[in-house]
Structure 1
């Protein structure tokens, strides 16, 4: 996993970080962003608009955490049961606690759990997407647009790594998101008695020292994406990678360099 460490030699840390982060690791992704303790450190193509796959679900999670009752019961609709991509197999008519859908969306990146929350909270997905774009505007995300709640490929669904770092910081302020994103696995039962067990999609959790989240994504159009957070020795690193050719090795290597320099 850490084969890139020799390539990513630490940079002398005597000088303070520049106002605009430098592109030190252009090979790691089509676009990337790394900040240490909230200060931008390295970035490549920070404002390039790219598909973001299931990193989209971080905005869905933020809206739900800010405005919804997670103890409410959601009845699964027909459209939810027909969702494609990553899913856990929810069935129309099942009754599920919103909190369990929320956890499944963040732990397993389940599109059916995500769609269920969007349809329930917004009344329909189109209304929920309008709320997503309004929240993006409120956060100052200038290169972001949402077309659905879950992250399917669409010309009208894109973001930049700079914008996603801002979104990630807003998400990290919500304890519900932080807790769910750090789970290595999750198990719940519907109110109808069906049991679901799932593992995280985040390969860094439990394998990279200090990893705490945050969200993964993949579609054919977006490639392999991740927003990663790691904490060590009192320092925190946030990294955003869009379309990374070797997502886990590259992310782990850059996190290690950043955490080593921060000591």
Structure 2
């Protein structure tokens, strides 16, 4: 009887030991999983913060660039109407990105999965609108150049009677190193003989335009082609910048999804 009781006691102790071992193993695994979840959350959180900080810097660059364009040189006042709309779009876009990045930092502070979902939706909508605007800009590029060319023709006809038109043309020809909209001979109908504005002169002196053609001292390039080349160069730069911004927005969307997933897993 005593032996039977001893065996039963030993079995109970072994069972208890096994139960404790299983419980300890379970708790250890649970803690390991919790640590892994916390580690994943920290990683996704860091990537989320970094991507939005870079997005904030880009938004500030866009706003500064827009402010520079807004204070356009008064000598180019005839073209102000063609830069007002793009500048307004840049300001709105930059402001949206700045608000979104600030909102992202607030989300990190409160650690809310619900706010992350709102952030993702807003950033996705902004990204789609951005792509649509960029595509529209590329489609309308040639139309805008034609409008600017028409304005140049109009200003050319008023060169000798309108101070604003003269200042615009002188600035355009000096800055872009060109003469006339399509050809330097367009100036002949507004000046006596074969004269051109002094701003067409390669080597400038007062009154140089009167003998510039005969001396070969004038810019050979047309302003229409110079503006087209200038626009193309800046369009490429703008496209690269917006492509980088879009990729960063996509990265922010991915990191926000990962961050939200880790927050959800920790709350389960």
Scaled by the length of structure 1, the TM-score of the pair is 0.26
**More relative contact order, 1 or 2 (CA 8 Å, 6+ apart):** 1
Q: Larger strand proportion, structure 1 or 2?
A: 1
Q: Flag the structure with larger Rg.
A: 2
Q: Counting helix residues as a fraction of each chain, which structure ranks higher?
A: 2
